[in-house]
Structure 1
Amino acid sequence: MNQIGTTSWNTVLNTFKKIWGYDNFRPPQGEIVSSLLAQKDSLIIMPTGGGKSICFQLPALLQTGLTLVISPLVALMENQVQELRQLNLSAALLHSELPSSQRRLTLQALAQNKLRLLYLSPETLLSAPVWEKLCQPQLQINGLILDEAHCLVQWGETFRPAYRRLGAVRSALLKSKPPGSKISVAAFTATADPLAQKIIASVLQLQQPDIYRLNPYRPNLHLNVCIAWTPKGRKQKLVKFIQNRPQQAGLVYVRTRRDSENLAAWLAEMGYATASYHAGLSATERRAVEADWLGGKIPFVVCTCAFGMGINKPDVRWVIHFHAPLLLSEYVQEIGRAGRDGKPAEALTLVSEPTGWLDPEDKQRQQFFEQQMRSQQQTAQQLAKKLPKQGDVNTVARQFPDGAMALSLLHSSGQLNWLDPFHYVIKPGVNKQSANQIQAAKEMNQYLHTKQCRWQFLLTAFGFAKEAANWRCGHCDRCSP
């Protein structure tokens, strides 16, 4: 590991110490850094709080040229870029909420090769003005990093279809660069089961990737699933839990924006200092809630899954799922926000009793999700008959309201190839229905009602069956009721 490309390992360690103040890496950080410096493709699965960002930020700063970081949320980009700028590092971000003057300055810095790291969403990457700049032959691009890569699996088919086009980005960029140029692609996430790993690698067209997988087990995190017999009982359980932990930092996860606003308002009436957080708030409102929570002004936030990615608060003592998430990967992401300082932390999930007689809400949520998935698949298949066999995504999106989503669903069921990030071709006669999300939602349900050790279940689900054999964590509600 003495020489990586043109950078010596001593230089790597010295830079790491100079910028971040650490003497050495935690395994497998060192291996990942050298893999990226050698410009290899990689897939990295490390638990939340495991120091993933340093693994791609350090190589980017040690190389000349630009590294693109594709990130799902504005809050996430802003937090990382702010930290890098405080360290005087040449990083910038582009997103739709930026004032146009700031956007212009960033595009200028980009054209003048002044940036080492540029954070942007899939949609911004594929927007005409940005794509045009990235395709300039003199702009050297070293790598493409997909941060929070599980979002490609969770959101890529319907909610954020641009994710499905990312696999065509590398070859399209290389066409505009001098011969012999290389761009590596790396995907980072805290949670990806074996199926998700396969989807990420195939959508991104990773070439013989180096794979680093750490299992999600956290010995200080105590898991508990509790039945709430009625809607009123659910609120009582929540309040009792919070009352017993005065002034401890926590998070309450709910499923929808409306749930978040209603529950936060009800808790405020009960005298609790809290706030609602969801993707419908403006950037300023979101920043204010984050600052209040990080600074301890409010001990907990009532939030949707939009909260928490990339927000680093080590002393979160508890996470409550007032409603269970749809997918196990979301669950593991969200409970992973607790106890990053290594001290004991609790993760409580409240569920209706399994029959749904007394409180049908959980069952209704599940059915609504499955119905939605099925009707989106049907829409895609009907649209497939009307769409030109070859065409471009922008025209289709203009002509048909669900056009972009239909193309990404066709891509996920093997019926469509991207010729480049903007042009597609539909393949005749293929139609393997993708039931990934519905299958994944069933697995979440099994977890909630399992009789086995909760951590054992999670390890098996995320592809660590060998480690999970004969496993008992000794500190979940199944091991020590």
Structure 2
Amino acid sequence: MVVNQVFEFSGYREKQYESIMSFINKKNTLVILPTGSGKTLCWVVPALISEGLTVVFTPLKALIDDQIRELINIRIPCAGLYTSTNHPSNYQEKVFGEIAAGFLRVLFVTPEKFHKNPAFRSMLMRISQIRSIRFVIDEVHCIVEQEYFRKAWNNLGTLKQLFPLSHLMMLTATCSTNEARKIQLIMNIEVGDLNIIRGSSFVRSEITFEVQTKSSKEKTINEICEQIQKIENEYCIIYCASPASCEEILELIRTKLDISLDIYHGKLESITRHQSITRWKAGLTQVMVATNAFGLGINMSNVRLVIHYTFPLSLGKYFYYSLKFKYNNY
């Protein structure tokens, strides 16, 4: 079995096998499983044992780089393309050549790459005429959440029109019934042509929740600092509603605590965001002050404290960002 030989796992986790078989059998599949349940395996196994190319849409460049390193470590040929100009001038042509030759099994891209690059779309369409292409959309809830902010996500709805013979796997850690229906509508998947696979339980008994009443800003910051001091050498994320709020809270905490702090929000330059994520994953940042853009694909098991300085726009978003980490949420 691939799961034993490549990944050295003893068996499948809940709903992994059902998801894998659904995708292998060319069914459009929506997989809703909690963070840490192994959603990546659900598409990697079909990519390994099936012919053709698997194109994976991922929301952030930093996540593409991480996923490429992980697959290369287990000797799966893959590459990544995004709208950034950081690639050498001939890099895209090199990737196109490797795809045409059948060398690459997995290609990671951002939705913006697909949306803004006609040459890339044309290349995929030409490839689809000679070999099969399947598509994976990671963090698919972004299609709903980013509907008015990142139009490239909505443009993924053209996949079924441009590639009628290709099938989709869509992955998320949380998705309500209404959101699933909206995703199906945006993606132009016909009624009855979507296999929804959902985990039996999203209960996380190790997480505790606490709601505290805000008073003055000074007192609230002091309370946040007290909570941070309690976790000692473990990690904390503070979510704020806007980039301006992130900047303000970062500076207020910095005046009170001598700890490693960093910031992440959409108005930062791409290279700055990438550096923030890199430092965080390397364990160099203890406290990250961020908007909810930081939650996409950021999974760390040693996050002890998650603080929402401003309540998220919906309970669904609060649920999503709470389940990505462990222990205490405030």
* Normalised TM-score (structure 1): 0.64
Which residue in the other structure is 1:302 paired with?
289
Residue 210 of structure 2: SS of its match in structure 1?
strand
- Counterpart for residue 41 of structure 1: 28
Alpha-carbon displacement from aligned partner over 1:74-101 (angstroms, at most 9, x marks no partner): 2222221221122221121110114133
Please give the alpha-carbon distance, in whole angstroms, between the structure 2 residues aligned to 1:162 and 1:291. Answer: 25
> Which position in structure 2 is the counterpart of 1:61?
48
Whole-angstrom CA distance in 1 between matches of 2:219 and 2:208: 22
2:83 corresponds to: 96
Cα separation, 2, equivalents of 1:101 and 1:331: 43
Per-residue CA deviations over 1:421-469 (Å, capped at 9, x if unaligned) read: xxxxxxxxxxxxxxxxxxxxxxxxxxxxxxxxxxxxxxxxxxxxxxxxx
2:158 counterpart of 1:168: yes
- How many Å separate the matches in 1 of 2:295 and 2:287? 12
**Which aligned pairs between 1:52-131 and structure 2 lie closer than 5 A?**
52-97=39-84, 98-99=86-87, 100-126=89-115, 127-131=117-121
Distance in 1 separating the partners of 2:278 and 2:152: 30
| 1:150 Cα deviation after fit | 0.6
SS in 2 for 1:92: strand
What pairs with 1:425-436 in structure 2 (closer than 5 Å)?
Answer: none
- Amino acid of the structure 2 residue aligned with 1:319: V
Q: Does 1:147 align with 2:133?
A: no
Root mean square deviation of aligned Cα: 1.8
Structure 2 match to 1:236: 222
Flag the 1:104–1:261 CA change in 2: closer, same or farther, 3 A.
farther
> Partners of 1:281 and 1:57 in 2: how far apart?
32
Partners of 1:148 and 1:307 lie apart in 2 by 12
Contact 1:65 1:139 in 2 (8 A): no
CA contact (8 A) 1:79 1:311 kept: no
| 1:294-333 pair list within 5 angstroms | 294-333=281-320
Is there any run of 5+ residues in structure 1 with no aligned partner, and where? Answer: 1-13, 175-181, 340-344, 349-481
Counterpart AA for 2:328: E
**Offset at residue 188 of structure 1 (A):** 1.0
Give the 3 Å change call, closer, same or farther, for CA 193–244 of structure 1 in structure 2. Answer: same
Report the secondary structure of 1:324's partner residue: coil
- 1:252 match: 238
Partners of 2:7 and 2:202 in 1: CA distance: 25
CA shift at 1:22, angstroms?
Answer: 0.2
The letter for the 1-side match of 2:97 is Q
- Asked if the contact 2:264–2:289 (Cα under 8 Å) also holds between the matched residues in 1, the reply is yes
Answer yes or no: is the 8 Å Cα contact 2:239–2:290 preserved in 1.
Answer: yes
1:281 equivalent in alignment to 2:268: yes
Larger radius of gyration between Structure 1 and Structure 2: 1
> Which runs of 5 or more residues in structure 2 are unaligned?
none
Q: Which amino acid aligns with 2:94?
A: L
Paired residue secondary structure (1:69): strand
Deviation at 1:319, TM superposition (A): 0.8
How far is 1:228 from its partner?
0.9
Query: Which protein, 1 or 2, shows the higher relative CO under an 8 Å CA cutoff with sep ≥ 6?
Result: 2
Percent identity over the alignment is: 26
Identify the range of structure 1 (185-194 vs 302-311) with the bigger mean alpha-carbon deviation: 302-311
Quick check: 1:248–1:299 contact (8 Å CA) kept in 2?
yes
Q: Is the 1:228–1:237 contact (alpha carbons within 8 Å) kept by the matching residues of 2? A: no
What is the TM-score normalised by the length of structure 2? 0.91
Per-residue Cα deviation, 1:4-33 (whole angstroms, up to 9, x for no partner): xxxxxxxxxx22122211010001101111
Q: Is the 8 A contact 1:292 1:298 kept in 2?
A: yes
In 2, are the aligned partners of 1:43 and 1:201 still within 8 Å (CA)? no
Report if the CA contact (8 A) 1:275-1:289 is conserved. yes
Cα distance in 1 for partners of 2:315, 2:179 equals 11
The aligned amino acid for 1:114 is F
Match for residue 328 of structure 2? 346
- Deviation for aligned residue 1:139: 4.2
